[in-house]
Structure 1
Amino acid sequence: MSLSSFSSAAPTHSTENSTGNKTVTYAWAESMANDKRGLYPIQLLQLALQKSGGNYQTKPSKRDMPQWRTLRHVELGLGIDVIWTFTTPERETSLLPIRIPIDRGLLGWRLLLIKEDFSAQFALLSSPEQLKKLRAGQGHDWPDFPILQQNGFTVSPSASYEGLFHMLTLNRIQYFPRAVTEIDIELAARPNMGLAIAPKWVFFYPAPLYFFVKKDQQELAAAIEKGLHLAIQDGSMRQLFLRHFGTAIQHANLKSRQVIRLQNPLLTKETPINQADLWFSPERGF
């Protein structure tokens, strides 16, 4: 379906099934069922809706789509009710955000993926200014790209995710910042590329990953928000979080690393930046 036909399509919302439950379709296709990246957000969404007290039943979307198209489907009510994604002012304008960072901002803790041969050189770097002179790589349309640029780092864009790993091996970039939750999986998937995690350093910038719904889905948004707060209060979100990310956090050993704190120009004034209970802390481990 082309974008030009979206406006004429009949909008859809979460619907009631024969058992009286409201079906909520989330943006993770059935064909991606074996992709572990989706397990935590899906299970957290299910936990929140269960705790909300409403009669909700979740199901995956029918097919995989580029993120921009998925966002458009949610905005126009075209068969998808919930998406989770990094927030931007534009997304908070076109969709309704539930402003609770679902991964507690862990997405913003970034280790540096490098060529293993360069580990000693990275260990000798003594300041962020030295690191800024090296070239990082990021997706050309990722929010991370302008964040690094506006903090004074040298960044090369790529239109291809896989291309960034090849740019690294070909010395076109010197490092590729990756989230704590991503980097171990990516290394394990590429055992013959000679890659490693740089010693000593970790980037941090506030990076809220929110659930978003259509603007007129206030009831659904309220249910998700209520359920998330209850899951935080009773510890069930902590349990789920540590089950999925505890090993990666432990392996990253963030408390021993030098933190380079970056400003995130993509945050809106409504970001709950001062609510410490919503954000990951290396000292607390949650």
Structure 2
Amino acid sequence: MNINPIKLSAVVMVLLFVMRPLSAAQTPHQVVYSWPKAMAADSRGHYPIALLHLALEKSGQSYNPVPSETALSQYRTLRQLELNQGIDVVWTMSSPEREQQLRPVRIPIDRGLIGWRLLLIRQQDEQRFLQLKDEAQLKALKTIQGLDWPDYHILQSNGFRTSSSASYQGMFNMLQARRIDYFPRSVTELPAELVAFKQADLMASPKWVLYYPAVLYFFVNKNNTKLAQDIENGLRIAIADGSMKQLFLQHFGAAIQQADLPNRTVLRLHNPLLTPDTPLSEHELWFNPQKGY
């Protein structure tokens, strides 16, 4: 029996390729996300981390997401991502500047729920806030936001008496010390913060909720088009197959129910920081308080 040496060589090459060590073919690409190991117990990071894992898994590509080593300010975190210095993915509220410096994955990871803001107040001020009659009376009170948070500019542009602070802990201290009257916090953030600061005798104000369209995106380095595309593909698959909804409700279902948004007075604000590329017309990407998702 004659064997064509060329065909035999081709068969051997195919067999060697198929039988090569899996580690050489499937070594996961490490992706560092901006939530340090020291903050692993902080529940504010649990959902975006789980969603990032889900999106990368659904993308069909081989990735290994890992936490960053060091806790940094938001400014320094975004700067490191921009310079491609040890951080591959950040989740944060969008702004024109951030979208120019970085590459956003244009799917709001929390369905815009970060733009639904309950008012964190002192428990003894409950009746005071119940008796507020309109937006003007609320705007006359003093509030606060983080110095480098887009929310600071949004509230200021809508006429709120907004001061700023570079200290996350310090803003709660200022509320407790009566230096401000309330601290707007998103539906997704407030439950964990009430637990973390339970000694401060704080509560969510009855009656009111602020709303402005806001987007919390995954951001990657401007040049990392493949990672951005893989995350977007994974997110869209997770939306289509219902796994993102399941994860969203697992983390926020109880907080949404407790917030009772359909029965609150909604103050709708303008967000001057939205860019024209914000996917406002893709209604399936956005939270609907009547549906609870």
Cross-structure match for 1:9 = none
Cross-structure match for 1:259 = 266
Q: CA deviation at 1:247?
A: 0.8
Q: CA deviation at 1:17?
A: 7.8
Matched, 1:115 2:153: no
Query: Over alpha carbons, which structure has the higher Rg?
Result: 2
Cross-structure match for 1:74 = 81
2:63 equivalent among 47, 52, 56: 56
Q: CA deviation at 1:128?
A: 0.8
| 1:118 aligned partner, one-letter code | D
Q: Deviations for 1:31-82, whole angstroms, at most 9, x for unmatched residues?
A: 2222222111111111111111112221122222222222122112222211
Cross-structure match for 1:3 = none
- TM-score, normalising length: structure 2: 0.88
Q: CA–CA distance in 2 between the matches of 1:221 and 1:282?
A: 29
SS state at 2:178 partner: coil
Cross-structure match for 1:104 = 111
Query: 1:168-179 counterparts in 2 under 5 A?
Result: 168-179=175-186
| 2:94 aligned partner, one-letter code | T
| 2:254 aligned partner, one-letter code | T
Greater Cα shift, 209-218 or 60-69: 60-69
Q: Deviations for 1:84-140, whole angstroms, at most 9, x for unmatched residues?
A: 111111110111100100011111110001111111121111211111111112222
| 1:128 aligned partner, one-letter code | E
Q: Deviations for 1:245-270, whole angstroms, at most 9, x for unmatched residues?
A: 11111111111101101111111110
| Structure 1 unaligned residues grouped into runs of 5+ | 1-15
Q: Deviations for 1:166-224, whole angstroms, at most 9, x for unmatched residues?
A: 22222221111111112122222222322221110000111101011111111111111
Query: 1:5-16 counterparts in 2 under 5 A?
Result: none
Cross-structure match for 1:28 = 35
- TM-score, normalising length: structure 1: 0.90
Cross-structure match for 2:289 = 282
Query: 1:188-203 counterparts in 2 under 5 A?
Result: 188-203=195-210
Q: CA–CA distance in 2 between the matches of 1:20 and 1:160?
A: 40
Matched, 1:42 2:49: yes
Q: CA deviation at 1:272?
A: 0.7
Cross-structure match for 2:101 = 94
Task: Assess if the C-alpha contact under 8 Å between 2:146 and 2:167 holds in 1.
Answer: yes
Cross-structure match for 1:246 = 253
Task: Assess if the C-alpha contact under 8 Å between 1:17 and 1:23 holds in 2.
Answer: no
Q: CA–CA distance in 2 between the matches of 1:56 and 1:189?
A: 33
SS state at 1:237 partner: helix
CA RMSD of aligned residues (A): 1.6
Q: CA–CA distance in 1 between the matches of 2:25 and 2:66?
A: 15
Q: CA–CA distance in 2 between the matches of 1:33 and 1:159?
A: 22
| 2:231 aligned partner, one-letter code | I
1:156 equivalent among 163, 167, 186: 163
Query: Percent identity at matched positions?
Result: 55
1:167 equivalent among 174, 194, 205: 174
